[in-house]
Amino acid sequence: MRIFILSLLLQFRCGAELLSEMYGSLQSPNFPEPYPRDTELNWNIGVPDGFRISLFFSHFDLEPSYLCEYDFVKVKADGEVLAVFCGKEETDTEEVPTQQVITSPRNSLSIQFVSDFSNEERFSGFMAHYSAVDVDECSQRSDEDQLCDHFCHNFIGGYYCSCRYGYQLHTDNHTCRVECSGAVFKERSGILSSINFPSPYPKSSDCSYRIEVEEGFRLRLQFDPRFDVEDHPDITCPYDHVKVGSSHSCPITHTLRCLLIGSVSDPSRKQRVWTVLWRSVSRVHPDRQQRRLHPFPQR
Ligand SMILES: [Ca+2]
Ligand SMILES: [Ca+2]
């Protein structure tokens, strides 16, 4: 019982009325009659993620005071004060809401009304209205900070991403991946480049290519010296990398004539390019074959 009374007292002192509808209104006590002195009222407005709150005052008449130190309405969001209002007319030191619409940065907003120990006159208080407004996630970002790799679609209460033809949406629902695994090359020579070459390769991709040449030959790879894959000054290839090796997808008897090239990129946007040339080299005369390998422009 004692705990119950204590919690009631706490609610009375610090409690706030919770408003979770998509729209609604709030007003000073006794509105449109004069509000009482010595009063504090709080409202916390909360709407679902993907919405913001816009607040508008249709009536405002509080006791005026220097810097609103007597009676005031304070609007806050995420611990930050968005506005403090008092009086009825705008002055150099006091603000009234007039026609302005306050929009919360996120999906919550709190409003505090305080009257001090006296009212010099009869002040009719305030009437305010709020509504949830959709956040247009697609239009808020700069090019560098886009939510979606390719296309962003806004809808009321959220947004979704989609990708250009040939790409698939990653499970993170933001990144577009390209399907690039499973290709097998059996030609005697060829050039393999990063996806989209000469444009940068896409982020969050994980590609693997198998190259296999005839028996009696082995594979020689030569990377274009303009090879440019995101690196790190201290750590070896922590982000993107191209890996060359044999693999379980190469039959064990095919050592040296079957290679797997894997290319992995992380979700960051620092993609670049790579190109590799492969050639089958006779096991008998490897040196003679090597001399013909000058496929890339010299620097
Ligand atoms: Ca007062
Ligand atoms: Ca939206």
Measured in angstroms, how far is the CA atom of residue 134 from the centroid of ligand 2?
Answer: 5
Nearest ligand to the CA of 114 is: 1
Spatial distance between the Cα atoms of 34 and 70, rounded to a whole number of angstroms: 15
Burial class (CB in 10 A: 0-12, 13-18, 19+), 61: buried
Nearest ligand to the CA of 119 is: 1
The pLDDT score that the predictor gives to residue 144 is 63
Residue 204 near residue 266, CB atoms below 8 Å: yes
Q: How far is CA 10 from the centre of its chain?
A: 38
Give, as residue ranges, everything with CB less than 5 Å from ion ligand 2.
134-135, 154, 159
DSSP secondary structure code for residue 228 in this structure? B
Measured in angstroms, how far is the CA atom of residue 86 from the centroid of ligand 1?
Answer: 10
What CATH class has 13-133? mainly beta
The pLDDT score that the predictor gives to residue 200 is 84
Spatial distance between the Cα atoms of 97 and 29, rounded to a whole number of angstroms: 18
The total of other beta-carbon atoms located within 10 Å of residue 237's CB is 13
Nearest ligand to the CA of 158 is: 2
Q: Give the C-alpha distances (Å, rounded to integers) separating 153 from 36, 106, 264.
A: 49, 19, 28
Measured in angstroms, how far is the CA atom of residue 68 from the centroid of ligand 1?
Answer: 10
The pLDDT score that the predictor gives to residue 1 is 44
Residue 228 near residue 241, CB atoms below 8 Å: no
The pLDDT score that the predictor gives to residue 72 is 97
Nearest ligand to the CA of 153 is: 2
The pLDDT score that the predictor gives to residue 120 is 84
Residue 104 near residue 77, CB atoms below 8 Å: yes
CATH number of 136-179: 2.10.25.10
Measured in angstroms, how far is the CA atom of residue 17 from the centroid of ligand 2?
Answer: 27
pLDDT values of the chain reduced to their tens digit, one per residue, 299 residues: 444 444 444 444 446 899 999 999 999 999 999 999 999 999 999 999 999 999 999 999 999 999 999 999 999 999 999 999 999 998 888 899 988 999 999 999 999 999 999 988 899 999 999 999 999 999 876 666 778 988 999 999 999 999 988 888 988 898 888 888 888 888 989 998 888 888 888 877 888 888 888 888 888 888 888 888 888 888 888 888 888 877 666 665 566 677 777 788 887 767 688 888 888 888 765 455 454 555 565 54
| Chain region(s) in the chain for CATH 2.10.25.10 | 136-179
The pLDDT score that the predictor gives to residue 215 is 84
Backbone angles phi and psi of 151, in degrees to 5: -120, 140
Spatial distance between the Cα atoms of 110 and 22, rounded to a whole number of angstroms: 15
The pLDDT score that the predictor gives to residue 209 is 87
CATH topology of domain 180-290: Jelly Rolls (2.60.120)
Nearest ligand to the CA of 135 is: 2
Closest CA relative to residue 41, chosen from 64, 73, 80: 73
Is 292 strand, coil or helix? coil
Nearest ligand to the CA of 115 is: 1
Measured in angstroms, how far is the CA atom of residue 120 from the centroid of ligand 1?
Answer: 7
| Chain region(s) in the chain for CATH 2.60.120.290 | 13-133, 180-290
Spatial distance between the Cα atoms of 121 and 62, rounded to a whole number of angstroms: 10
Q: Give the C-alpha distances (Å, rounded to integers) separating 180 from 22, 130, 177, 209.
A: 45, 50, 9, 8
